[in-house]
Amino acid sequence: SPFVATVSADPGQVVVTGPSLAATPVGKTAHFSLNNVHSALDDVEVAVEGPGSVPVPAQVLEKAKNTFGVEFAPRIPGEHRISVMLKGTPVPGSPFSCKVYDVGAIKVRDTEKGIVGKPVTFLVETSKAGPGNLEVTVNGGQVPTSAQAQGSHTYAISFTPKEAKPHMIELRFNSEDIPGSPFRCEVVDASKVNISGEGLEKVPVGRRATFMIEPEVSLGTPEVKITGPLKKVVHSSIQMPSDNRYLVEYVPVDVGDHTVEVSLGGVTVPGSPF
């Protein structure tokens, strides 16, 4: 006669696995598995609760012998509590804490332009995205980055470009690409500028002196500071007679050496001060 072995339903033997136990995105069906379950489908109880203890419907399906699958679809980001019981007894690890996140709720600001040698800083806001880890790489990790918290859910990400070329910023949240990533940041070289004119050489007191600033790339109006021999700032004016060419005018009032400081986009140009 056949030998019959009775296997008791032991909740302590149940193994719960699946990435959705730790983190899952909103709006998609999350899955995890119950293995080594020596019991019927009716003996398995799964309860999922979202933020504020709001219940989230969960479905338990028989996948194979002693194996069950669980599906649920979270609708809002935040910590979700997953309770798994067999015949009213919690299985090992239950309740589980699942981080539900929404990458579409992340906002990225100010990534358009940068200057060689000057830190580029942009803001990433994650307040409505739920819990998770923010990952940032620039040019495939070749350019070092740093992050600084600007409040509870806003981060200032910085990097300092060394080359004048487009920099690609990749942003991921819980290992998932943020919409719009990679972001493109155009980086230009402020040192490529031609500065010339008599106003940088010997100039008579009380007469108008001029010089031209001609950058290779457009970085806005240059900053000019002229200081006389008594450390007094000499008033100067800047006009743009043609596209991306700047005419600087000043009238020296004291005899002696004057220093002319020129910067573009916040970066001192080579040769300055003159």
The tens digit of pLDDT for each residue in 15-63 reads: 898 988 889 999 899 999 999 888 888 888 999 999 999 999 999 999 8
Query: What's the whole-number mean pLDDT along residues 200-204?
Result: 86
What are the CA-CA distances from residue 36 to residues 23, 42, 122 (Å)? Answer: 23, 15, 49
253: left (phi over 0), alpha (psi -120 to 50) or beta: alpha
Whole-number pLDDT of residue 4: 43
Indicate whether 190 pLDDT > 50: yes
Please give the CATH architecture assigned to the domain spanning 193-268. Sandwich (2.60)
Q: Percent of the chain, pLDDT > 70?
A: 97
Q: Would you put residue 11 in left (φ > 0), alpha (ψ -120 to 50) or beta?
A: alpha
Decide if pLDDT at 256 tops 90.
Answer: no
Q: What angle do CA 179, 158, 164 make, to 5 degrees?
A: 90
Pick the CATH number of 103-188 from 3.50.30.40, 2.60.40.10, 2.40.50.140, 3.30.470.10: 2.60.40.10
**What amino acid occupies position 182?**
P
Residue-averaged pLDDT of the chain = 88
Classify burial at 236, counting beta carbons within 10 Å of its beta carbon; exposed 0-12, middle 13-18, buried 19 or more: middle
Give the per-residue pLDDT at 1.
Answer: 43
- Alpha carbons within 13 angstroms on the beta-carbon side of residue 268 total 8
Q: Which CATH class is domain 11-101?
A: mainly beta
pLDDT on residue 5: 41
In terms of Cβ atoms closer than 10 Å to its own Cβ (0-12, 13-18, 19+), residue 6 is exposed
Q: Where does the chain hold its CATH 2.60.40.10 domain(s)?
A: 11-101, 103-188, 193-268
Q: Report residue 45 as tokens.
A: 């109880």
pTM of the model: 0.70
pLDDT 10s digits, 128-161: 998 888 999 999 999 999 989 888 889 999 999 9
Secondary structure, 3-state, the chain? CCCCCCCCCCHHHCEEECHHHCEEECCCCEEEEEECCCCCHHHEEEEEECHHHCEECEEEEEEECCEEEEEECCCCCEEEEEEEEECCEECCCCCEEEEEECHHHCEEECCCEEECCCCEEEEEECCCCCCCCEEEEEHHHCECCEEEECCCCEEEEEECCCCCCCEEEEEEECCEECCCCCEEEEEECCCCEEEECHHHCCCCCCCCEEEEEEECCCCCCCEEEEECCCCCEECEEEEEEECCEEEEEECCCCCCCCEEEEEECCEECCCCCC
